[in-house]
């Protein structure tokens, strides 16, 4: 499975599994990986679509969303979970702590992975498949943070939040789905900035790096 890497693999470096949106390991995901690596984490982002053919995506394509959704519909979800668990197990075997950060498609996939093979922490941004995965909630024992946009027409937070137990939950008024993505069709600057600050603080508290403050 092709895996992108960022940051140091040093003895004191916790690992983060970064799970992509439906748009693959895009420039945006790579930037977030770099942001996390700058905080002192060793970050890996697997190519979840690697078993499929014809998965190239052009972010300038006006049909980008439709094409990406078509790719996801061809994906074997169970195999994607298995592949992601293997990536998490690789990080865990390093013995320095391992967490998951997932966006959209990856937020739901990360939740499923956390139920199957508990990481130390889970950060899920508007996990698009959460409504279909709520029965797994009792199996997610990782310390968790979830971000939701109140203007998300794809994912209704009110249907999901009651199932998430003692997870840290943040909601963002007027922010829609994928509000952290910088593409103009999705981006909500204020929500993106605040959610990222909260993510950084959460990781610093629950999966600290040798830098002292993530």
* Residues involved in catalysis: 104, 152, 177
Give the span between the Cα atoms of 65 and 119, in whole angstroms. 30
What is the DSSP pairing of strand 42-46 with strand 121-125?
unpaired
Give the span between the Cα atoms of 180 and 125, in whole angstroms. 8
Give the span between the Cα atoms of 134 and 20, in whole angstroms. 20
Give the span between the Cα atoms of 82 and 142, in whole angstroms. 18
Give the span between the Cα atoms of 155 and 152, in whole angstroms. 6
Give the span between the Cα atoms of 131 and 163, in whole angstroms. 10
Count the residues in the chain: 214
């Amino acid at each position: 499975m092709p895996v992108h890497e960022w940051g140091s693999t040093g003895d004191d470096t916790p690992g983060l599994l970064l799970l992509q949106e439906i748009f693959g390991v895009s420039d945006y995901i790579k930037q977030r990986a770099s942001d996390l690596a700058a905080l002192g984490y060793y970050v890996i982002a697997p190519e979840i679509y690697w078993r499929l053919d014809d998965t190239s995506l052009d972010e300038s394509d006006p049909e980008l969303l439709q094409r990406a959704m078509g790719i996801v519909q061809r994906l074997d979800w169970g195999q994607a979970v298995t592949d992601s668990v293997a990536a998490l197990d690789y990080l865990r075997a390093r013995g320095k702590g391992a967490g998951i950060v997932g966006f959209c498609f990856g937020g739901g996939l990360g939740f499923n992975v956390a139920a199957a093979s508990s990481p130390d922490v889970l950060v899920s941004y508007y996990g698009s498949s959460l409504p279909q995965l709520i029965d797994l909630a009792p199996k997610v024992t990782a310390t968790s943070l979830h971000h939701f946009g109140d203007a998300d027409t794809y994912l209704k937070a009110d249907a999901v939040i009651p199932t998430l137990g003692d997870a840290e939950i943040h909601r963002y008024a007027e922010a829609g789905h994928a509000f952290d993505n910088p593409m103009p069709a999705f981006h909500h600057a204020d929500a993106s900035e605040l959610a990222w600050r909260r993510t950084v603080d959460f990781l610093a508290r629950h999966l600290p790096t040798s830098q002292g403050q993530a």
